[in-house]
Amino acid sequence: MSHAITRRIEDLEKLSPPLTARPDIDEYWDRTLRQFSDKPLNAKRTLVVTPYAYMEAYKVSYEGFDETPIHGWYLLPKFRKEGTELPCVVLYHGYSGSKGYPEEYASYLMMGVAVFAIDVRGQAGETGNGMAQDFGMTKGWITQGILHRDTCYYRAVTIDALKALDWASEQPEVDASRICAAGGSQGGGLAMIAAALSDKPAIAVPHIPNMCHMDFGILNSNSSLSEAAAFIERFPESLETVIETLSYYDNMNLAHRIRIPIFVTVGLKDPVTMPETIYAAYNRVESEKTIVPYPFSGHVVTADHNRKATEFIAKHFRLG
């Protein structure tokens, strides 16, 4: 039976806007990944005391894009068998958020899964931002260095996200063949770009991902891309330059590089990470993929989103 909701989903499933990728996007990323592959993590992990008897919690710092220490929580269930290697979920938070408190990740520990949850640089966590800046910004963080692909904030947070996967894969408690990149909104965008650019994750869970079809998003959404829109309003001559910079970090343009199973969620009433942007990227993924549309959800990751995602993780990591 066809009705407005099914027709809306059918239309989204057919969405295939033109790519904004420049011809050298793959060459650019291959070169960039080589450039950062040998950069040392200079990581430290320190055991901390929490009120949670069955959680082993470590404060971690490591270096990603530059010398800025990126802070994270590395969490292990205390009830694991000695010598057992655990799957690990590497988690990225939403825009203007932080890694939060260890107990926010208890559901993963209850599955017998390790967690590495990191701050995104400069936002509301304990992590600063040592990036150089040679031009003005408009509110927030997105427009830092936005006039060039090599200087922009997206480059820094992308490399930080990839290096988090590298760190997790090196931990003695982690089974490096069972790593999941996950997050919501900004974090979903980072999980998706990590799936495209890193060989470390075996699966990815991008909830309501940002960083998709960004030329549409900058025009229509009220996401963090509205900061880029404000920048162009202030500097109208920068329009093509900004669109070009964003094109290198757009999951729509990088979807062809995803070779692992991914589980994506989307809210059809989401004005932030709009369904048109998410489907534009998702429809171009060629690997095993699942998308769950929520017709009446806005910009939110609900309990049902999380339950379906944990079922996906449990299935692929052979848990339970």
- Residue-wise pLDDT for 59-109, tens only, equals 999 999 999 999 999 999 998 988 899 999 999 999 999 999 999 999 999
Q: Is residue 11 part of a domain?
A: no
Asked if residue 253 has pLDDT above 80, the reply is yes
Other CB atoms within 10 A of residue 318 CB: 8
38 alpha-carbon distance from chain centroid: 22
Q: For position 152, what pLDDT does the model report?
A: 98
pLDDT band at 261 (very low <50, low <70, confident <90, very high): very high
Question: How confident is the prediction for the chain on average, in pLDDT?
Answer: 97
Number of domains in the chain: 1
The pair of structure tokens assigned to 186 is 């900004």
Q: Is the pLDDT of residue 320 over 80?
A: no
Q: Determine the 3-state secondary structure of 109 from DSSP.
A: helix
Q: Answer whether 173's CB lies under 8 Å from 76's CB.
A: yes
> Residue 27: pLDDT above 80?
yes
Does the residue 273 lie in any domain? yes
Tokens of residue 316, six digits: 């692929």
pLDDT of residue 82: 85
Q: How big, in percent rounded to 5, are the helix, strand and coil portions of the chain? A: 35, 20, 45
Is 183 strand, coil or helix?
strand
Q: Average pLDDT of 148-162?
A: 98
Q: How far apart are CA 30 and CA 17, in angstroms?
A: 25
Name the strands in the sheet holding 114-118, side by side, starting at the edge strand that comes first in the sequence.
44-48, 55-63, 69-77, 114-118, 86-92, 174-184, 203-207, 262-267, 289-294
| Residue 85 lies inside a defined structural domain of this protein | yes
Considering only residues 57 and 2, tell me which one the structure prediction assigns the higher pLDDT.
57
Could you read off the pLDDT of 194-226 as tens digits, one per residue?
999 999 999 999 999 999 999 999 999 999 999
232 assigned to some structural domain? yes
- In the residue annotation, 175 being an active-site residue is answered as no
The mean per-residue pLDDT over the stretch 134-160 comes to: 97
Tell me, what's the pLDDT at 2? 79
Is 282 part of any domain? Answer: yes
pLDDT in tens, 9-20: 999 999 999 999
What distance in Å separates the CA atoms of residue 318 and residue 320, rounded to the nearest whole number?
A: 7
At 266, which amino acid appears? V
| Owning domain of residue 272 | 23-316
User: Tell me, what CATH number does 202's domain have?
Assistant: 3.40.50.1820
Q: Helices (H) and strands (E) in the chain — how many of each?
A: 11, 9
Indicate the SS3 state at residue 144. coil
- Asked if residue 6 belongs to a domain, the reply is no
Residue 297 pLDDT greater than 80, yes or no: yes
Residue 95 marked as a ligand binder: yes
Residue 65 is assigned to a structural domain of this protein: yes
Q: Looking at this protein, which amino acid is placed at residue 246?
A: L
Q: In this predicted structure, what is the pLDDT of residue 1?
A: 63
Handedness of CA 100, 105, 106, 107 (dihedral sign): positive
**Residue 206: strand pairing partners:** 183
- Residue 138 within a domain: yes
* Mean pLDDT of the region 116-141: 96
* Residue 305 falls in the annotated catalytic set: no
Size of the chain, expressed as the number of residues it contains: 320
Sequential DSSP letters for 235-296: SGGGHHHHHHHHHTT-HHHHGGG--S-EEEEEETT-SSS-HHHHHHHHTT--SSEEEEEETT
Residue 151: its pLDDT value, please? 97
Active-site annotation holder among 71, 93, 299, 305: 299
The active-site residue, picked from 61, 185, 224, 247, is 185
